[in-house]
Amino acid sequence: MIEARRLHILRAVADHRTVTAAAAALYLTPSAVSQQLTALEQETGHRLVERGARGVRLTPAGEILLSHTNAVLAQLERAEAELAAYSSGAAGTVTVASFATGIALVVGPALARLSSAAPGIRVRVQDAEGDASLPMVLDRQVDVAVAVEYRGAPGADDPRLTRVPLYAEPFDAVLPETHRLAAAERVPLAELAKDAWIGPFAGNPCHDVVILACEAAGFQPLLEHWSDDFRAVVALASAGAGVALVPRSALRGMDVSGVVIRPVEGVAPTRRVFAAVRCGAEEHPLIRPVLDALGEAAG
C-alpha cells in the first residue's frame, strides 16, 4: 500500500529538484525526506529518484508515479472538501498569499465581503511575490495564492492547480517630467530604446512583462536601476534616473510628482492576475467562499 504522505513528498522533490529544498518547503529534515523516498521505493519496488551534482531528478518510474500522484492528491483534496461540507465547515481559517498590490486591490476588499457573508471564516494573509505564492500552495504552506502570469509559471492546464482568473491590468510608461516624450499622449516603446531603465529584479513576474514588452518593440532595455518597490521606481524616475513600466493599479494613490504617466502606444504590456488552489480544494466549504469573494472584488 502506497502512503499518500510519501506521494506528497515525491511531488515536492520533483517541484524543488533537491532534497534539501523540498525538506525546507515541507518543514522536514533532509534525512526524513530521504527516508520517506526510500520507503516509497520499497513500497513500489522501483527506483524513483536519481541524485546528481545538480540535484535530484525522477527516473522514468518516478515520472509514471508522479503522473498518478497529481490525480491521487487532487482526489484526496476533494474528499477533504466533501467531508468538511458534511460537517458544515462553517468556521475555520484560510491562508492567502498575495503580492502587495493584489492585497490592496482584491484581497482586502474580499476580506471585507467575507466579514459579513461568512463571519465564521478567518483569513490570514501573507505578502508574497507573484512567483512565490504558487509553490507555497503546492507545498501546503498556504491555501490560496493570488498570483500573476510569468515565464515558467504552472500553466492553466497544470493538474496540480485549479485557477480562477481575477483581473488583467495594463502597464503604463513612467517618464521624468523633463523627458522628451513627456508631452506625448501615448508613448511608443521603441522610442525608449536608448534610455536608461528602472525595473524590478529578475525573478519578479513584472520583470518578465517589461523585458517581453521591450523585446516585442525591438530592443533590450538598458536596466541601470533595480527595485521591486514601485514607489522607489517612481522616485527614481522623478529624479531623472530613467524610465519605467509600472502596473496601473500600483500607481494609485502614489506620489507621482516629478513624473508623467502615459499609456503605451499599441498593445499595452499586461499583468494577468489569478487565484490558485490545489486541484480538488476549490469546492472546500472554507475555500470556496474565499475564491468567490476574490472574484467579486476583482469584478
Q: pLDDT tens digits for 4-61?
A: 888 888 888 888 888 888 888 888 898 888 888 888 888 888 888 888 777 788 888 8
Outline where DSSP puts E strands in 149-269.
Answer: 161-176, 196-199, 222-226, 244-247, 259-262
Q: What percent of the chain is modeled with pLDDT above 90?
A: 52
Task: Give the DSSP H/E element, type plus range, for residue 104.
Answer: none
Integer Cα distance of 17 and 56 in angstroms: 5
pLDDT at position 85, please?
A: 62
pLDDT of 142 strictly over 80: yes
Instruction: Measure the CA–CA gap between 72 and 77, rounded to whole angstroms.
Output: 9
Residue identified by cell 484581497 is: 107
**Total Cβ atoms within 10 A of residue 119:** 10
Count of residues making up the chain: 299
> For residues 199 and 246, what is the distance between their CA atoms, to the nearest angstrom?
9
Dump pLDDT digits (tens) for 248-285.
988 988 899 999 999 999 888 998 999 999 999 998 98
Could you tell me which of 118, 138, 119, 17 has the C-alpha nearest to residue 73?
138
Query: Measured on CA atoms in the order 196, 198, 201, 202, is the torsion positive or negative?
Result: negative
Say which residue, 99 or 88, is predicted with more confidence: 99
For residue 208, report the phi and psi dihedrals to the nearest 5 degrees: -60, -40
pLDDT at position 210, please?
Answer: 93
Give counts: helices (H), strands (E), the chain. 10, 11
Interval 236-240 mean pLDDT: 96
**Distance of alpha carbon 144 from alpha carbon 166, whole angstroms:** 13
Q: What angle do CA 140, 63, 9 make, to 5 degrees?
A: 30
pLDDT in the model for residue 89: 60
Exposure string (b/e) for 1-11, b if CB count within 10 Å is 16 or more? eeeeebbbbbb
Determine whether 185 is exposed, middle or buried from the number of CB atoms within 10 Å of its CB (0-12, 13-18, 19+): exposed
Q: Is the pTM of this model over 0.85?
A: no
